[in-house]
Structure 1
Amino acid sequence: MNYSTLLTSLENHILTITINRPDKLNALNKTVMSELESAITEFESNPEAKAAIITGAGPKSFVAGADISEFVGLSSAEGMELARTGQNIFFRIENCSKPIMAAVNGFALGGGCELAMACHFRIASDAAKFGQPEINLGIMPGYGGTQRLVQLIGKGRAFEMLMTGNMIGATTALQYGLVNHVFNSEELLDKAKSILSLITTKAPLALSRIITAANAVFDQSRNGYNVEVEAFGECFNTEDMKEGTSAFLEKRKPVFKGK
């Protein structure tokens, strides 16, 4: 599928989704959000794609925020609808049945930080900057930022970032637990693909259930332990479980088929 604001490439079962508005620092407008949702749908339905990377075009920015020009003149009801739409798209990413990593190559601010946090995990270049500067515009995060930032770095640190609007660098983001690894800019995508290449060798059905169970930690309507028990039991009905245990006992590498 062709997109006007995204670049996509599939290599070795890894789909790379690049937000491609470098002249606007890859800001999220309505078109980007709509195409991002379509790309996630395409990713989920493509059996050849087993994992995905979301990154930004150009050397400066992952996503420098939402396109503020689209906020001007909105009513309260329209603002709420904008937030609901953004949250729903980011929920799709967070709950995708296949692993999605954010490779943060520069500014991840506002909606960009929210997008990165919606991914299952994040790595960053040493030039990356993270922040939720919405307070400087007289607004606040609306795409899940207040919720995920607290979950990822803790209440006190999240409040400071949300209330000051200050940015943090990659080293601090690593210290806070916002990102898993920091690499040189030149090696960021290669490192992302290396990590996902390992993950794509694992059992797809088990990976999907790990995502479901881990996300249940933050879903107050569900008992995460019960979700884990059910998901664990479901694994025993899969061919992958039989292959994995046989391979372990036979001292060979398993070949999983997602069945």
Structure 2
Amino acid sequence: MVFGRKRKVVPFRSAGELDAMAAAGAIVGSALVAVRAAAKPGVSTLELNAVAESVIRDAGAVPSFLGYHGFTGSICSSVNDRVVHGIPSAQDILAEGDLVSIDCGAILDGWHGDSAWTFGVGEISVADQELSEATRLSMEAGIAAMIAGNRLTDVSHAIEVGTHAAEKLHGRSYGIVDGYGGHGIGREMHMDPFLANEGAPGKGPELVVGSCLAIEPMLTLGTTDTVILDDDWTVVTTDGSRAAHWEHTVAVTEDGPRILTLRPE
């Protein structure tokens, strides 16, 4: 008797489970909107952290970052050359022209939502505006590839193509941060598979209806190389160039991609 190889798929959820994840994701979206509204010159990233945690807890959810492998914040607050995993601090004071990336997660009824948003404090440079826009466009290209029958690296390739399209649009090059990317998500925040932000298409497990991924490109105005600071968390560009980070939790549905971390208007 001959048995066929079992088809590998990206882990999937039922329609009801996707609704539960969207409820968690909506809380994350609300927290990000509140943080952006509070991000003014003179405000510390620790104050932004308090805003996010208040929104999350008031909604009956729990911050998923707080205590994660010892992390001390409810958000990651990464300013300027900090790419990801910046630790909120009372000494980290925002200034006019800063480029701020906020990553936020919440757990509701055991389900995770995870999303990130880059924005400026006051007036920012055209280069920083375009960097953030390029990162958003790359994420949206990845989201558009979240359709049943695609393979994991079809999403990676779409993100990369989206980055190159933004480069042509803006007439500048962007660094796709090496070694970091998206991930599976569900009842845990970080699950297999790892989702690279570049690469050849047509490889890896198949996307099926209900498959969920956190899609999160990170781009810089310079290098693709990073180092981790002495706090063992904060990732910074090696050349001091500014970085941006956009992320949504996204599911495959019969009607196309579904963003599970929508932000209120």
Normalised by the shorter chain, which TM-score bucket? under 0.3
Which has more helix, going by share of residues? 1
Higher relative contact order (CA 8 A, sep 6+): 2
Q: Give the TM-score, by structure 1 length.
A: 0.27
Which has more strand, going by share of residues? 2
Larger Rg: 1
